[in-house]
């Protein structure tokens, strides 16, 4: 019955908008208190929808968390590599895209916290692991394709497999995000280290 009532409440563009509003609210709440402090009712209130509507869209708390990871992954700054970047060679495009993951911007920080939180939760919730693996593999492929374009236009010189190099680079981005967010190093220092590593690894 919950589903039916929700369908009547929600259709077409409004449905897409409400789904998006719920995911934005979930990201904000995760960024504030973490995945493990996330209460579905609070997400619904923050998004201005009823809890049944939230359950209609995401089925369960776990479904909501998986969708929040997917949303963070789709909105990550380095997805810029999926579009043809104007006026940049392959190397510049990869470097700009990865450094943007450490931008001083509220949405970027929220995205980074969601990603880190869902990964950290997956250590204790095996149900999340397939999703973590899938979005991680997508990210790796995006960066690997970007590296491939740099090799083709001559701006990147590789001594090893592009997939290995892409894995190393996204692992560095993740690790530096964690260090920045946990206070181990400053964001500017993280960007400087990442920029230097990208230069050394891709040139």
Residues in contact with a second copy by the rule CB under 8 A: 32-34, 36-37, 113, 116-117, 119-124, 126, 128-130, 132-133, 136, 159-160, 164, 167-168, 171-172, 174-176, 178-179, 181-185, 193, 196-197, 200-201
Q: Least CB distance from residue 31 to a second copy, whole Å?
A: 9
**Residue (97 or 113) nearer to a second copy, CB:** 113
**Residue (116 or 146) nearer to a second copy, CB:** 116
Coil, strand, or helix at residue 147? Answer: helix
* CA-wise closest residue to 30 among 78, 67, 55: 67
**Residue (65 or 176) nearer to a second copy, CB:** 176
DSSP 174-193: HHHHHHHHTTSS-HHHHHHH
**Residue (67 or 198) nearer to a second copy, CB:** 198
**Residue (16 or 184) nearer to a second copy, CB:** 184
Q: Least CB distance from residue 26 to a second copy, whole Å?
A: 16
CA angle 12, 18, 21 (to 5 degrees): 145
Helix (H) or strand (E) holding 39: none
Q: Least CB distance from residue 125 to a second copy, whole Å?
A: 10
Q: Least CB distance from residue 119 to a second copy, whole Å?
A: 4
* CA-wise closest residue to 113 among 13, 28, 56: 28
Coil, strand, or helix at residue 103? Answer: coil
**Residue (7 or 184) nearer to a second copy, CB:** 184
Cβ atoms of 43 and 26 within 8 Å: the answer is yes
Q: Least CB distance from residue 179 to a second copy, whole Å?
A: 6
Query: Which one-letter DSSP state was computed for residue 89?
Result: -
Coil, strand, or helix at residue 50? Answer: coil
Cβ atoms of 59 and 49 within 8 Å: the answer is no
Q: Least CB distance from residue 175 to a second copy, whole Å?
A: 3
């Amino acid at each position: 019955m919950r589903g039916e009532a929700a369908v009547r409440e929600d259709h077409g563009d409004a449905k897409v908008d409400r789904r998006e509003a719920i995911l934005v609210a979930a990201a904000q709440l995760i960024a504030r208190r973490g995945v493990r402090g996330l209460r579905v009712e609070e997400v619904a209130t923050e998004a201005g929808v009823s809890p049944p509507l939230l359950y209609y869209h995401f089925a369960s708390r776990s479904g909501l968390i998986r969708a929040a990871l997917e949303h963070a992954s789709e909105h990550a700054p380095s997805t810029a590599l999926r579009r043809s970047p104007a006026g940049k060679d392959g190397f510049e495009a990869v470097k700009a895209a990865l450094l943007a993951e450490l931008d001083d911007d509220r949405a970027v920080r929220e995205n980074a916290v969601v990603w880190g939180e869902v990964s950290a939760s997956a250590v204790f919730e095996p149900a999340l692991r397939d999703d973590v693996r899938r979005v991680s593999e997508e990210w790796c492929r995006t960066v690997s394709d970007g590296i491939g374009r740099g090799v083709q236009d001559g701006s990147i010189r590789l001594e090893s497999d592009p997939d290995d190099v892409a894995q190393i680079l996204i692992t560095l981005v993740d690790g530096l995000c964690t260090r920045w967010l946990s206070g181990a190093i400053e964001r500017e220092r993280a960007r400087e280290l990442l920029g230097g590593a990208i230069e050394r690894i891709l040139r």
